[in-house]
Amino acid sequence: MAVPRQQQIELVLLFVIVFVSDIILGQYDQWGYGYPQIPPNQQNPYNIYGQENYNNVPYNIPNPGDKDYRTFVYKGRRYGQQNNYHYGTPGDPRISGQDDRFFYDRQGNAEPILPGILGSWREDLQGKRREQTKELARDIFVKTTHGEVQGFQVYLFDDPNPDSLYRPGSEFIERQMGISSVFLGIPYAQPPINEGRFKPPRLHRGWQLVQAVDFGPACPQPARYTGSTLGVRDMDEDCLYLNIFAPNINEGIAQKYPVMVYIHGGDFIHGASNLFPGHIMATFYKVVVVTLNYRLGALGFLSTGDVNSPGNYGILDQVMALKWVYENAEKFNGDRDSITLFGPGAGAASAGLLMVAPQTRNIVTKVIAQSGSSAADWAMIFDRYRAQNTSRVFGRQMGCSTESSWRLVNCLKNSRSAFEIGNAEFPPEVGLFPWAPVIEMNVTMPYYEGWYESDWHFIDESVESLIKKRMFNPNLRYMSSVTLQEAATFITTNRSLEPYFEIDQQYFDQKVMELVLRYNYTLNPNGTFDAIKYMYTYWPDPNNRTMIREKYIQLLSDFLYTSPNDKIVKLLLEQNVPVYMYVLNTTVESFRLQEWRKVPHNIEHYLLCGAPFLDTEMLPAKERFTRSQWTNNDRNMSHFFMRAYTNFARYGNPTYTQILGIHFEESKNGQLKYLNLNTTYNSSIMWNFRQTESAFWSMYIPQLVGHLVPTYPPTTEFWWEPRTPLQVAFWTMSGFCLLLIVLLVLCCMLWRNAKRSKDRYYDPYLYPSDNENEDGIENTRDPVGFNDKFRSQVVPARTNSASSLQTVSLKELQGFVTPSPTGEYPRKGTPVLQTRNRSKSQTAISQGVPQTDV
């Protein structure tokens, strides 16, 4: 039976009344179901993410580069928002509109931010949470030259010393083995934001208390290198922070600890200070470990080759950090007179540059260069064209005008965010290492309020020249290394070669030609290509794909790492600097890498930072480490690296005493000894590592092409442009005023010429002044009587007759009258003048003589 229409209307009205009632009572909201236990007037008005889950499921914090990623500032320091709390409680970044300085809970009560370990236990910073660590002391305080710093204690539960015979899981109860004092995210310079972009760093003004309880954000870089699983959890342009790992700072010491400053690698494009946990090295080997951030990519190394952007901002950040460490090392029980720089790749190149830089050469006493050299072509840019080309290509990539360097820099500074600039990557044809420090190019350094001219300078000579002049610390000692398969990463990171990573002869030839064109544009490319191909062909079987891949790896390894390392070692040996070398032939066994890539670039990183002895929670999640995965050889090699590096920092000799039966020998001229490091059981001393290949790149190729200058096809012409808009206006107005002056002078000259032409007919003293009503008067005087007064002025004139003379009056000479045959002067009328209103006097000129009636 059909429902009457009146009942249908009543049912609809009933549903409407129930729905409205539920809304009023708080059972529904615009996002779905509400929370009956929370009064409607206290529900969070900032939630825009829909239904929340309050089942204690952690919320995944957005990674750098995500649209909802953000950081916050607390007490003058920037932090990343980590997952300290459960879903829907203070710290939930999904709440929009909240003040950066405060959290907001669901009741709307403002709570102060508790960053880092202050908010809750942070396993990535403090390690695994254990029962015995709950009641142990946490906070520590140190007074620096800039203010007080709050750090925290980290308790370690493993011992790297092989003599301890300790292995994870070998005992039922975990024992505390050491204490590390950690200070994370200490600002060493003012944030390089706003006006600070594309300018050198400025010394920090100081603070009352900095809570160094979490890593500072990494500097902007491509998003594919960032994320919590990769270890780079936060990223922001405000990134100039350093971290300090020291032995227990509450213990008394008899002697200051050596200071070891780690400069991360990453080709000057990516990397972060928090990728090197220094807890194990600092605690068990008694050194102070410092890691630091510096600006990367365009934000750190953009150079237009002129005053608008001289460049070197990233390397100047390192200079500023090194000065800060030198001033404050003793506050953390460090020895300021024993500072060692170490790092891989770009970090090694930076260490070599700081070794000879005027601002830091007296600070640096030792350098450990891991798979990198400051003498490499990619370590520094000498060619102004190359610097400008890089900037032009990057500007086009970012959609900025490249008509002038000022427009380019102004666009990048005011119209692009730091994330956009950091995430931009070059096309492959630009080169393997597009960004690098640049040598000073005889340009006038700019002046800005708040910066001094000296702030912009780095070095104006090559490293080779400075070493030959002995422009380094008199007590300098140097240690270097390379691995056997440095360039294997160039193949493994090429996704087009997945999954087997095989290459053929065509791929090999293509890559060699790209290398030739990139580093030898227009300079005998065919001859260079043939020479390289001849040198790196496996002649017993040229078509063997396995050997083609191996030769390609050797080619790039020799060109980028081995040859530059050999060059700087020989330069230092010529100056009698003690040098130690090792070649790494062994691998991390637990990684189980394939034979052709067992020893890639920076493979010793996890061994050097003591990863086999750290809680896995403190390492990047992507690696999926486990405490039990490390073999005995991995643990022994990790101990060897940490002991050798700290021995070199303390004594200047990596094997002050033998380490597990291994020792180094110092290199000498003509006998370049190095440690061929296989394992702790079969390593040996050898000499002259790949000398033929090194000479091929450092001597033969430059002679073949004349000079090896990295460049690439875009046109290279110097920019001409004004420095700033104020100067544009100044020179524009100056040019306009100069044009007006020229026109004024020209008008004056024309007026003067016209006046002179007029004066030829009118004497300046005889300008007539006529009556308004009369055109002139007639002369009634007797000209004869008048001319009698001038008889004495008669001038004889010679005629055609030789004997006759004729008298000529003054009037005749003036050309007004001509004598008649009778000698009488004709009477002439007074010329009619134009009427003038300048005077009432009446003046007329008769026969050339003025006649005036008064």
Instruction: For the chain, report the end-to-end CA distance as a whole number of angstroms.
Output: 137
Structural contact between residues 326 and 203, judged by C-beta atoms closer than 8 angstroms: no
CA–CA separation, 76 and 74 (whole Å): 6
Give per-residue burial for 795-809: e unless 16+ CB within 10 Å, then b. Answer: eeeeeeeeeeeeeeb
Going by the DSSP 8-state scheme, the letter that residue 497 receives in this structure is G
Distances (CA, A) of 329 to 141, 287, 837: 15, 11, 96
Q: DSSP readout, 457-483?
A: ---SS-HHHHHHTT-S-TT-EEEEEEE
**Per-residue pLDDT reduced to its tens digit, 138-197:** 999 999 999 999 999 999 999 898 888 777 766 667 888 899 999 999 999 999 998 999
**Per-residue pLDDT reduced to its tens digit, 286-321:** 999 999 999 999 999 999 988 899 999 999 999 999
**Per-residue pLDDT reduced to its tens digit, 810-851:** 444 444 444 444 444 444 444 444 444 444 444 445 455 555
Q: What is the pLDDT of residue 296?
A: 95
Q: What is the pLDDT of residue 828?
A: 46
* SS3 track for 97-145: CCCCCEEECCCCCEEECCCHHHCCCCHHHHCCCCHHHCCCCCEEEEECC
CA–CA separation, 110 and 288 (whole Å): 39
Exposure on the CB side of residue 142, measured as CA atoms within 13 A: 24
Which pairing describes strands 334-344 and 288-292: parallel, antiparallel, or unpaired?
unpaired
Specify the higher pLDDT residue, 386 or 783. 386
Q: Is the pLDDT of residue 423 over 80?
A: yes
Q: Is the pLDDT of residue 134 over 60?
A: yes
Structural contact between residues 580 and 648, judged by C-beta atoms closer than 8 angstroms: yes
Could you give the 3-state DSSP secondary structure of residue 12? helix
Check: pTM over 0.85? Answer yes or no. Answer: no
718: closest CA among 520, 462, 443, 453?
A: 443
Structural contact between residues 345 and 264, judged by C-beta atoms closer than 8 angstroms: no
Q: Is 9 exposed, middle or buried (0-12, 13-18, 19+ CB in 10 A)?
A: exposed
Instruction: Enter the tokens of residue 132.
Output: 């015995």
User: What's the mean pLDDT in 342-364?
Assistant: 95
Q: How many CB atoms lie within 10 A of CB 13?
A: 10
Q: DSSP readout, 163-214?
A: GG---TTSSSS----EEEEEEEEEE-B----GGGTTS---B----SEEE-BS
Going by the DSSP 8-state scheme, the letter that residue 696 receives in this structure is I
Name the phi and psi angles at 321, rounded to 5.
-65, -40
Distances (CA, A) of 666 to 468, 584, 673, 685, 768: 20, 17, 7, 10, 109
Which pairing describes strands 842-846 and 849-853: parallel, antiparallel, or unpaired?
antiparallel
Structural contact between residues 402 and 396, judged by C-beta atoms closer than 8 angstroms: yes
Please give the sequence-ordered ranges of beta strands (E in DSSP) within 731-794, or none if there are none: none
Q: Which residues contact 627 (CB under 8 A, 6 or more apart)?
A: 168, 169, 615, 616
Q: What is the pLDDT of residue 795?
A: 46
CA–CA separation, 189 and 325 (whole Å): 12
Give the Cα-Cα-Cα angle 668, 669, 673 (nearest 5 degrees).
Answer: 40
What are residue 77's DSSP bridge partners? 74
Least confident of 61-65, 205-209, 375-379, 583-587: 61-65
User: What's the mean pLDDT in 702-721?
Assistant: 57
CA–CA separation, 110 and 104 (whole Å): 5
The alpha-helical segments, DSSP class H, found in 399-500 are 405-414, 418-423, 463-468, 488-492
pLDDT band at 764 (very low <50, low <70, confident <90, very high): low
User: What's the mean pLDDT in 385-396?
Assistant: 89
Q: Is the pLDDT of residue 681 over 60?
A: yes
Inter-residue long-range contacts of 616-620, CB under 8 Å, 24+ positions, other chains counted: 617/123, 617/124, 617/127, 617/128, 618/123, 618/124, 618/125, 618/127, 618/277, 618/279, 619/231, 619/277, 620/229, 620/230, 620/231, 620/275
What is the residue extent of each domain of the chain? 5-32, 44-114, 724-761, 767-779+829-854
Specify the higher pLDDT residue, 783 or 556. 556
CA–CA separation, 821 and 381 (whole Å): 101
Which pairing describes strands 178-187 and 241-247: parallel, antiparallel, or unpaired?
antiparallel
Helices and strands in the chain, H and E counts = 22, 23
Q: Is the pLDDT of residue 365 over 90?
A: yes
Which pairing describes strands 148-156 and 178-187: parallel, antiparallel, or unpaired?
antiparallel
Specify the higher pLDDT residue, 635 or 723. 635
CA–CA separation, 374 and 376 (whole Å): 5
Structural contact between residues 442 and 330, judged by C-beta atoms closer than 8 angstroms: no
User: What's the mean pLDDT in 399-420?
Assistant: 91
Q: What is the pLDDT of residue 79?
A: 83
CA–CA separation, 309 and 198 (whole Å): 7
**Per-residue pLDDT reduced to its tens digit, 4-22:** 666 666 666 666 665 555 5
User: What's the mean pLDDT in 390-395?
Assistant: 90
CA–CA separation, 794 and 807 (whole Å): 6
